[in-house]
């Protein structure tokens, strides 16, 4: 509670020169991350130093493409190697042991007890984007090591994104910044909405969802279906809530981060959903994996293969477990028909300029939502066997039995329904609390009453705080 106000005051009233502001950001970010476990600061320093040095070497060897390629490759291997050891070592060892067992070989490679550093997948991808963009000549390498280290470790989005490309955030680190009152106020509103989504909806849904998953054997199909719906909203409000908090917090310091969610549950097909969900990760894979593989330029068959690769890697990025890989492949399976039949690429917001969607739009959104909802069951399952047990019990006669329903479930469904309603009304805004233009909120007093009401709801209804889901990735 005290960290942010102290950093904010020091940033704007004490550390006024740009270099000192960046130094404060760097120190504050390291304190913020080191508070969890200071030992893992070494990894951020290695990642930052490696990517910073690779940029300078690529610039130094301008015109010698083979050396530049070697430097870029070495930086990629180093950073992905660190990520692989801390996040995927046991996964790969278990997979190797299983493969040897299938081949009749008696091999039992030992696994290790490895603590997964919080946010390592996020800041690793952020660092890689810099060195790759320097190699591709999309951005000039920087010699300002403080600005660069601050870019990698910027505390609002350090542990769970958005994953900022150097082309967006690094230039902001290197420009003079002055306090923008309107931007700061908008940032605080976005943070308030993020806290509301996280503490009221995500954590409330988590209470129900965790209880159901802990008692699969005694839950009816209807209870499991409701739990799947609530997890669909839990993961959205949990992750997008963090993104709102991070983006809003960055605005307090004069930075504009990339929007990470754009009402994804109003998507009309899976392609549109993927364009609106975890936008910075999807753009990262598109830019640095899909396009280098050839994208859609080498025929339909190659496009499908590239798409499957991207979705599989995206699933693996989320966690070292086959359920995540299968979740990614499930989304790829939904995506393939859109490629084969060259379905429409929606770039507008549904029902643009209208209060209600057409019947066709509503049906498309409903089908897409249910398909995505089923995929989240696989994402949530601890293993494939449990997923099969969930699905088997879900599609049983008990799907139509009201036994086991609770008032808490009904309450959380109402909260989720209310969320959908307000997001639908504000679907073309950056966040729900951008209420300029509404006559009812024309006065400052009316706006403050709304903010106070949301704050009271948070303090009154918030239960046990749950760890952000994406902290584990």
- Within 8 A by CB and 6+ apart from 233, the residues are 201, 202, 205, 412, 416, 419
| Distance, CA of 25 to CA of 31 (rounded, Å) | 10
| Rounded Cα–Cα distance for residues 141 and 131 (Å) | 8
Measure the CA–CA gap between 159 and 32, rounded to whole angstroms: 10
d(Cα 257, Cα 161) in Å, to the nearest integer? Answer: 9
Query: Which one is catalytic: 113, 318, 352, 431?
Result: 318
CA 420, 426, 428, 429 torsion: positive or negative? negative
Helix (H) or strand (E) holding 276: helix 270-276
Q: What tokens appear for 14 in the block?
A: 């004490």
Residue that has been written with the tokens 């190659």 in this structure: 302
Q: Where are the beta strands (DSSP E) in 132-274?
A: none
Closest CA to 133 of 283, 267, 269, 271: 283
Q: Do the beta carbons of residue 229 and residue 265 sit within 8 Å? A: no
- 318 in active site: yes
232 contacts: CB under 8 Å, gap ≥ 6: 265, 369, 372, 373, 376
How far apart (Å, rounded) are the C-alpha atoms in residues 84 and 143? 29
| CA proximity to 201, closest of 411, 415, 408 | 415
The residues that are catalytic are 318
């Amino acid at each position: 509670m005290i960290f942010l106000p102290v950093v904010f005051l020091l940033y704007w009233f004490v550390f006024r020169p740009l270099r000192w502001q960046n130094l404060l950001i760097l120190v504050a970010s390291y304190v913020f991350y080191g508070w969890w476990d200071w030992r893992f600061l070494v990894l951020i320093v290695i990642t930052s130093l490696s990517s910073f040095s690779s940029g300078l070497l690529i610039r130094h060897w301008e015109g010698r493409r083979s050396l530049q390629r070697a430097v870029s490759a070495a930086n990629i291997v180093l950073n992905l190697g660190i990520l692989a050891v801390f996040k995927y070592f046991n996964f790969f060892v278990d997979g190797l042991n299983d493969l040897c067992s299938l081949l009749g070989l008696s091999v039992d490679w030992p696994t290790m007890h490895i603590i997964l550093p919080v946010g390592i997948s996020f800041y690793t991808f952020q660092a890689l984007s810099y060195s790759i963009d320097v190699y591709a000549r999309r951005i000039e390498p920087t010699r300002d090591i403080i600005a660069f280290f601050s870019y990698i470790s910027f505390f609002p989005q350090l542990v769970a994104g958005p994953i900022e490309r150097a082309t967006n955030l690094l230039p902001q680190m290197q420009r003079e910044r002055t306090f923008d009152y309107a931007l700061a106020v908008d940032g605080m509103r976005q943070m308030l909405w993020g806290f509301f989504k996280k503490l009221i909806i995500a954590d409330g849904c988590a209470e129900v969802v965790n209880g159901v998953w802990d008692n699969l054997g005694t839950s009816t199909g209807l209870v499991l279906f409701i739990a799947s719906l609530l997890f669909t909203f839990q993961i959205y409000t949990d992750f997008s809530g963090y993104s709102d908090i991070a983006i809003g917090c960055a605005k307090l310091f004069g930075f504009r981060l990339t929007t990470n969610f754009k009402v994804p549950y109003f998507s009309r097909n899976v392609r549109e959903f993927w364009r609106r969900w975890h936008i910075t990760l999807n753009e990262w894979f598109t830019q640095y994996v899909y396009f280098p593989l050839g994208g859609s330029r080498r025929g339909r068959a190659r496009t499908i293969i590239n798409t499957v690769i991207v979705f599989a890697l995206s699933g693996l990025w989320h966690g070292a477990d086959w359920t995540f890989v299968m979740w990614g492949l499930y989304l790829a399976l939904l995506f393939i028909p859109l490629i084969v039949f060259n379905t429409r690429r929606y770039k507008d917001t549904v029902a643009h300029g209208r209060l209600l969607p057409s019947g066709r739009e509503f049906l498309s959104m409903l089908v897409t939502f249910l398909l995505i909802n089923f995929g989240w069951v696989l994402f949530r399952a601890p293993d494939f066997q449990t997923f099969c047990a969930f699905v088997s019990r879900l599609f049983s006669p008990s799907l139509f039995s009201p036994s086991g329903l609770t008032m808490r479930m009904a309450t959380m469904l109402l909260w989720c329904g209310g969320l959908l309603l307000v997001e639908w009304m504000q679907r073309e805004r950056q966040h729900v609390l951008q209420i300029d233009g509404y006559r009812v909120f024309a006065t400052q007093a009316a706006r403050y009453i709304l903010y106070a009401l949301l704050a009271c709801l948070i303090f009154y209804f918030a239960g046990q705080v749950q760890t952000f889901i994406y902290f584990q990735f």
